[in-house]
Structure 1
Amino acid sequence: MTTRPETGGLDGDWRIYRGDGRPHDRVRRLPPPPPWRRFSPEAGADGRRERDLQQAISYRPDESVIDRVNAAILLRRPLLVTGKPGSGKSTLAHNVAYELGLGSVLYWPISSNTTLQSGLYHYDAIGRLHETSLRGAGGREDTAEPPDIGRYIRLGPLGTALVPGDLPRVLLIDELDKSNIDLPNDLLNVFEEGRFTILELQRLPEEQSRVHVMTADGGARVPVDRGEVRCGNFPIVIITSNGEREFPPAFLRRCVRLSIEPPGPERLAEIVEAHLGVDARAASEELIEEFLVRRSEGALATDQLLNAVYLATSGSRPPETKFKEILDTVLRPIERPGAG
């Protein structure tokens, strides 16, 4: 026997899932998602683009952040941004790119296995060898053109940022403190010289001095002459760190440093308004006070406040008897003072 789904409105019940095993169609009447959780088929395979745009539009930096961003841009130096998780370090890069009209951010997430080479370019030697073998198998090795090596070289985020252009690109190097011990020092020469070489292209004969290679963001292939990529405008490089390690003095000397402090009540109200509107700001005064009290007892990210305000103002607020319990979950500290 097949059980038919129930139909009808939500009947004042905020819950979509009931847990009673009876099929229903309440999921079709979900309220609109929070702006920072909206997805689109046009947003790319990873769905980041629309969310990043929303975050960029809604970001509200304070004066110290604005001043240091401008200093880094004027000095053509990387901006090293330190702060707690959720403080808006990564969003700053998207905000800068959006305001200055510099296109999408080139994103380079860092892990313990990341190398400088992976940020500069990747050469698919096996793929090119395979194509060469297929051509040879067809008996065309003496008549066919050799495989276009440019189709087997893809610049990484750092390499793409250094491609010459009329305007600089914005490069986000995310969580550099997760890297191996060598990567910060490996970056020094690239930052100082604003260039790098692709050895596989330098070995080509003179008649192949210009090769068009692929880029990290999937844009049009770009020309590389004699295997050297040399920037015309130094990119706007924003490097984030959670403050989990110290960097070498030589690396720090070449960066403009910024520590993002947790926003105060007025800034939090502005952030709520930017994301959720004037009405949400007016209704969030008590939640902001509660958030600040809890933040003094343990690390909380600003997006946790936004989640709480959305639950309270989206039109599907839990009843008061449940809301306090759910608020405790949404505003659970990321870490306690002295933890770890």
Structure 2
Amino acid sequence: MSQDMDSWQLYRGTNEVGQQPPTLPPAPPWRRFSRRVGAADRPALRYRIGAEEADVVNAALHLRRPLLVTGKPGTGKSSLAASIASELGLGNLLTWPVNSRTTLVDGLYRYDAIGRLRDTGRAHEMSSPEPDVGDYIRLGPLGTALAVSRPGAPRVLLVDEIDKGDIDLPNDLLVVLEEGSFEIPELVRLPDDGPDIPVMLTGTRERRPVHQGVVACEDFPVVVMTSNGERDFPAAFLRRCVRLDLREPTEDQLKEIVRAHLGDDGLRAAEDLIETFLDRRDRDQTALATDQLLNAVHLRITGVDMSRESLVSAVFRPLEEAGPVTE
């Protein structure tokens, strides 16, 4: 399908302001967002994985062990967690993105000590009751996953790019992953005969009561940790994980992915693009992601008037460099 130049070019770079904003075309299926925060129903429903890889996922589910997923960028490591949550009906995906400054406590809980001190002082000035300590504690993604997971309905947690974290983070996680529980010191020091303290969950206004300062799961959550292989992990950490190495999709798998997202019309339009994609990825050892192929096919079937060479140059940019791609 092809349209004239005026119909698809929304931006021209001329600094000429139009009389009214243009109407944007529909977004690709994988870029349509739910109104619900944290919804995990977009790309997951169309995620594809091989039978051998699915067996490894099932092993982790049966063993109640974290799944450590490695592979090159763009192989679908993060999407796997969303797929598990969606296919098994386990609710919205909880996500814990890791960076070089991430510590264990970031995933467990946050305590707003300054806010509590300020509000307590204000309460004393007004002779009103002191605020409850639970109002200033919010569980992090890992803490929330432990708090809400129950038999038959565990939550799915994505710990994204754990290899980017501090070198001590995997070791720090060992006890929590093994015991399925952790303590909140600010609550542990309260009297043992006191009531359970409701604390806030991440990404929601919902609360969960904490008994004697200990957050513990009834059933271990489904924990998916991704790694780009940027560094090695301690043996003690690896021993507690089920490991899955996601390989780059084959030609047949790419065709299945394109058909799943864009239908038979998309697959027919993708034949030469798939060939170019595989040629660059396998022969030239260019780092490309599957969604780059999907982007190119979507642009073609929605009437973007670009030559094949321009389309490839614009979309098939190597992941490891920012320079131009030449045909």
TM-score, L = length of structure 2: 0.91
**1: CA distance between counterparts of 2:21 and 2:48?**
33
Structure 1 stretch 129-138 or stretch 157-166: which is displaced more?
Answer: 157-166
Q: Does structure 1 residue 154 correspond to structure 2 residue 138?
A: yes
Q: 2:312 aligns with which of 327, 332, 335?
A: 327
Largest Rg, 1 or 2 = 1
Q: Does structure 1 residue 279 correspond to structure 2 residue 279?
A: no
CA shift digits 1:17-67 (9 cap, x unpaired): 223343336852432111122245x244xxx63xx4221011011112211
**Unaligned 5+ residue runs, structure 1?**
1-8
Q: Does structure 1 residue 308 correspond to structure 2 residue 302?
A: no
**1: CA distance between counterparts of 2:21 and 2:231?**
45
Q: Percent identity, aligned pairs only?
A: 54
**Partner amino acid, structure 2, of 1:173:** V
Tell whether the 8 Å contact from 2:161 to 2:226 is kept in structure 1 after alignment.
Answer: yes
Q: Kindly tell me: are residues 60 and 284 of structure 1, through their superposed partners in 2, closer, same or farther at Cα, counting changes over 3 Å?
A: same
**Partner amino acid, structure 2, of 1:329:** A
Tell whether the 8 Å contact from 2:201 to 2:207 is kept in structure 1 after alignment.
Answer: yes
Pairwise CA distance, 1:327: 1.4
Tell whether the 8 Å contact from 1:120 to 1:155 is kept in structure 2 after alignment.
Answer: yes
Matches within 5 A, 1:91-170: 91-138=79-126, 140=127, 144-163=128-147, 164-166=149-151, 167-170=153-156
Structure 2 counterpart SS, 1:108: strand
Q: 1:171 aligns with which of 157, 176, 199?
A: 157
Q: 2:210 maps to what in 1? A: 224
Q: Kindly tell me: are residues 287 and 27 of structure 1, through their superposed partners in 2, closer, same or farther at Cα, counting changes over 3 Å?
A: farther
Q: 2:32 maps to what in 1? A: 38
CA shift digits 1:249-290 (9 cap, x unpaired): 110111000110000111111111111122111221111111
Q: 2:251 aligns with which of 245, 258, 265?
A: 265
Aligned residues: 315
Q: Kindly tell me: are residues 157 and 11 of structure 1, through their superposed partners in 2, closer, same or farther at Cα, counting changes over 3 Å?
A: closer
TM-score, L = length of structure 1: 0.88
Q: 1:214 maps to what in 2? A: 200
**Unaligned 5+ residue runs, structure 2?**
322-327
Q: 1:289 maps to what in 2? A: 275
